[in-house]
Structure 1
Amino acid sequence: MSGRGKGPLAGVKVLDLTSVLMGPYATQIFADLGADVIKVESPHGDTTRYIPPGPDHSRGAMFLNVNRGKRSIVIDLKQPSGRDTLLRMAADADVFIHSMRSSAMGRLGLDYAALAEANPRIIYANLYGFSRNGPYRDYPAYDDIVQAASGIVDLQAKLSNGQPTYTATVIADKVAGLTGAYSVIAALYAREKTGRGQEIEVPMFETLVSFTMVEHLCGSLFVPPQGPPEYPRATSEARRPYKTLDGHIGVMIYNDRHWQNFFDALGNPEWSKDPMYVSMRTRSQNIGQVLAKVAEVLETRSTEDWVELFRKAQIPATAIASLTDLLHDPHLDQTGFWDERDTPMGTIRFPGIPTSFSDTPGAIGDPGPALAGDSAAVLHDCGFTDEEIRDLIASGAVQQDESAA
């Protein structure tokens, strides 16, 4: 099964020189939405290939998921014929996306100028750690590094008794990947109007600072500042899943209507008449006390009782789900979120495409490809003759998985 040609990006060809997670997540979205994503790998392959578990040591679970629906070609870009091959492939490509530092792409002779000469309509996307216009440009960056640099780790410390911690998901990679995806799609739309390609830069550091500061810039939006860059509600020690008689519950009593419904459900106790509960402003100014009182009240009943009460009161609330719970969640089951199928890698369960399109629905493709598994087919599709393909493979400029030959 392949998702190519099934979705709003059907007909779009993407040359994908990304690795690890940030770039591959962006191009997974392209593949899910119908684009032909050609994963251009070095002879060593994407390092994420080798992260277990998985029955094939060169295709672990994360790789199989985030590279689904793509084709793999191995090109040695350090060889002049390898570089020439890629530039020839770019002649009819729509998107060229990479996750190497700008200086490395320059040394390979694969900067935007080189690709634009091969194809003036190409969208060229740089996804890397730090903008090339600042002093951090050559620093290596992974998710943990950018979490630390962007303020995320410091914010986490406020919820962890002062101990700096990372989030339990690779938030920097994925937020930057999503930003890369929408940026490329926006550039494709602009090209439809102007006929011109362009270069895009998506640096992880700047992307995560922007993401973090949506709420946390707070009083420092103003010059001079009217307060520190921190959104107090998000960093309050009392902001956490609430303990109940028999477990924990997630509750968001947010707007004025929620609060009045909450008080009504409790019988409007005397403490609810405190002026600090009157409005969003007064609650925000006393957020620590407000959340602490909620925590005290929620310890008096079971999770099931509270969920039932909050649902009747139209207050957002839920029991705490584990990742294992989600594998059998009744809502996800009914919506068909999980895509389970038999593959050469065994039976695989993919998380589904979270968005839907009434006219051009996407489709999840095959598990992440074998290293160099599609080299010959990709070159053939790009107009290379059989003789040219044989010569490139014989020279080592291109590699082909023998089992796919």
Structure 2
Amino acid sequence: MTKHPPPSAGPLAGIRILDLTSVLMGPFATVQLGDMGADVIKVEAPAGDSTRHLGPMRNPGMGALFLHCNRNKRSIVLDLKHPEGRAAVLRLAATADVLVYNVRPQAMQRLQLGYGDVAAVKPDIVYAGLHGFGQQGPYAARPAYDDLIQGATGIPALSVLAGGDVPRYAPGALADRIVGIAAVNAILAALFHRQRTGEGQAVEIPMFETMAQLTLGDHLCGQTFEPPLGPTGYPRILNPDRRPYRTLDGYICTMFYTDRQWQSFFALIGQPALFADDPRFATIGRRTENIRLLYAMVSEAMATRTTAQWLHVLAEADIPHMPMHTVDTLLDDPHLQAVDFLTPQEHPSEGAIRAMRVPARWSKTQPAQRHFAPQLGQHSEELLREAGYGPAELAALRASGALDPNP
């Protein structure tokens, strides 16, 4: 059992992130920056990030989702509606390289923490906003959640086109996590620009536009052209038979794409001449035109053997395949075990937990966990002292109600 996370400076060592985000999208972005070595200061309201109270937990305020999205961060509790709390955030911002928030920009303006306010104390700050919609359009002031953005960008409707009975959201916080990754990319690029020029800037990462790019990148298709060369929708992806295939005793995932793979498939089902003799299957373009027929053939064939039999013959034929995991069986996947993806740890307050390591491998500056997810306000005084607060100022801040009352 690992009692302490392994130390690692990481490629972002020396970068300080002032993290005003909560729930999932923002914290998922900043945890990645923290994993890469940045010093992430998590500013929480007195009630704490709402994810502290979600899911199973051993102690109040330390829910499972919070633990996974808030490691490598230090927590300070400030009430930003107090003038003294706002002043404290600005003093912290003066020491930071990046400020990240995920409330609507209008809320930051009301708090007098807009880009102009923050740039006044830190001109080269990278001021990154993750919010629902670009601020130049009619949706600018609307609230946004993962489900709303999935629906607005066509994901539930695509599930029906692909053979579902009713529209369904993807069973995961798809938009929150994808936009979180997009935010990391944008923040790192802005930091690179600052390194070259000395210039800070405001960066907007909108959920709607980011996810619209994801949907339309696959499905704009014939509507790419003016005049259109065909309808929207990528036929292979929308094929109702594009799914895990039922076998005699379970399911299997396999993918036929190249000429060689389809040739091998036809041989496996005892019809090798189809590839050479049937023009519908001879090229990738013709196969795409006839993909519904092909996937129906695959579906019918898969039902004739057991999962183990298919795993064996597909491996021998060098055809891409994987077992269909459940979330529970994924925990026991032999590859994840071999690469130590899930590691047992001893959290100082939560006891034995299972953590996920950083997926990427680096030869020089390996990102890693350095700190466990913090308790609410665990580092309040430490961080304020680093920002220059003396004992009298700390006492006054507490007395004002802007700082958490527990020393």
TM-score, scaled to structure 2: 0.95
- How far apart are the structure 1 equivalents of 2:32 and 2:235? 34
Structure 2 gaps of 5+ residues are: none
Please report how far the alpha carbon of residue 262 of structure 1 lies from its aligned counterpart in structure 2 after TM superposition.
2.1
Task: Determine whether 1:373 maps to 2:378.
Answer: yes
Matched residues, percent identical? 44
Q: Structure 1 residues 157 and 4 mapped into 2: Cα distance closer, same or farther (>3 Å)?
A: farther
- How far apart are the structure 1 equivalents of 2:330 and 2:301? 28
* Contact 2:8–2:366, Cα closer than 8 Å, also in 1: no
Please report how far the alpha carbon of residue 379 of structure 1 lies from its aligned counterpart in structure 2 after TM superposition.
0.7
Please report how far the alpha carbon of residue 162 of structure 1 lies from its aligned counterpart in structure 2 after TM superposition.
4.1
Aligned to 1:328: 332
Match of 2:366 among 337, 358, 361: 361
* Contact 1:120–1:197, Cα closer than 8 Å, also in 2: yes
Please report how far the alpha carbon of residue 20 of structure 1 lies from its aligned counterpart in structure 2 after TM superposition.
0.7
The AA in structure 1 aligned to 2:67 is L
Aligned to 2:130: 127
Match of 2:311 among 307, 310, 313: 307
- How far apart are the structure 2 equivalents of 1:142 and 1:283? 39
Task: Determine whether 1:192 maps to 2:195.
Answer: yes
Aligned to 2:205: 202
- How far apart are the structure 2 equivalents of 1:5 and 1:293? 51
- How far apart are the structure 1 equivalents of 2:323 and 2:383? 48
Aligned to 1:352: 357
Please report how far the alpha carbon of residue 308 of structure 1 lies from its aligned counterpart in structure 2 after TM superposition.
1.3
Match of 1:159 among 150, 158, 162: 162
Superimposed CA distance per residue, residues 157-193 of structure 1 (whole angstroms, 9 cap, x where no aligned partner)? 2235341101011100000000001100111111110
Aligned to 2:94: 91
Deviates more, 1:95-104 or 1:369-378: 369-378
- Structure 2 counterpart SS, 1:187: helix
Please report how far the alpha carbon of residue 225 of structure 1 lies from its aligned counterpart in structure 2 after TM superposition.
1.4
Please report how far the alpha carbon of residue 267 of structure 1 lies from its aligned counterpart in structure 2 after TM superposition.
4.4
The AA in structure 1 aligned to 2:137 is G
Aligned to 1:275: 279
* Contact 1:90–1:96, Cα closer than 8 Å, also in 2: yes
- How far apart are the structure 2 equivalents of 1:166 and 1:72? 33
- How far apart are the structure 2 equivalents of 1:2 and 1:134? 45
Please report how far the alpha carbon of residue 199 of structure 1 lies from its aligned counterpart in structure 2 after TM superposition.
0.7
Aligned to 2:42: 39
Query: How many aligned positions are there?
Result: 402
* Contact 2:9–2:37, Cα closer than 8 Å, also in 1: yes
Aligned to 1:297: 301
* Contact 1:38–1:70, Cα closer than 8 Å, also in 2: yes
* Aligned pairs (5 A) from 1:55-94: 55-94=58-97
* Aligned pairs (5 A) from 1:101-116: 101-116=104-119
Q: Structure 1 residues 4 and 31 mapped into 2: Cα distance closer, same or farther (>3 Å)?
A: farther
- Structure 1 counterpart SS, 2:117: helix
The AA in structure 2 aligned to 1:229 is T
Aligned to 2:402: 397
Aligned to 1:176: 179
- How far apart are the structure 1 equivalents of 2:378 and 2:163? 46
Please report how far the alpha carbon of residue 87 of structure 1 lies from its aligned counterpart in structure 2 after TM superposition.
0.8
The AA in structure 1 aligned to 2:27 is P
Structure 1 gaps of 5+ residues are: none
Match of 1:229 among 228, 232, 243: 232
Task: Determine whether 1:288 maps to 2:316.
Answer: no
Task: Determine whether 1:22 maps to 2:25.
Answer: yes
Superimposed CA distance per residue, residues 256-286 of structure 1 (whole angstroms, 9 cap, x where no aligned partner)? 1211222334444455542211111011001
The AA in structure 1 aligned to 2:381 is A
Aligned to 1:245: 248
* Contact 2:149–2:208, Cα closer than 8 Å, also in 1: yes
- How far apart are the structure 2 equivalents of 1:5 and 1:311? 39
Deviates more, 1:42-51 or 1:90-99: 42-51
Q: Structure 1 residues 18 and 8 mapped into 2: Cα distance closer, same or farther (>3 Å)?
A: same
- Structure 1 counterpart SS, 2:75: strand
- How far apart are the structure 2 equivalents of 1:3 and 1:75? 30
Please report how far the alpha carbon of residue 6 of structure 1 lies from its aligned counterpart in structure 2 after TM superposition.
2.0
- How far apart are the structure 2 equivalents of 1:154 and 1:392? 51
Deviates more, 1:54-63 or 1:2-11: 2-11
The AA in structure 1 aligned to 2:179 is A
| CA-based RMSD | 1.5
- Structure 2 counterpart SS, 1:315: coil
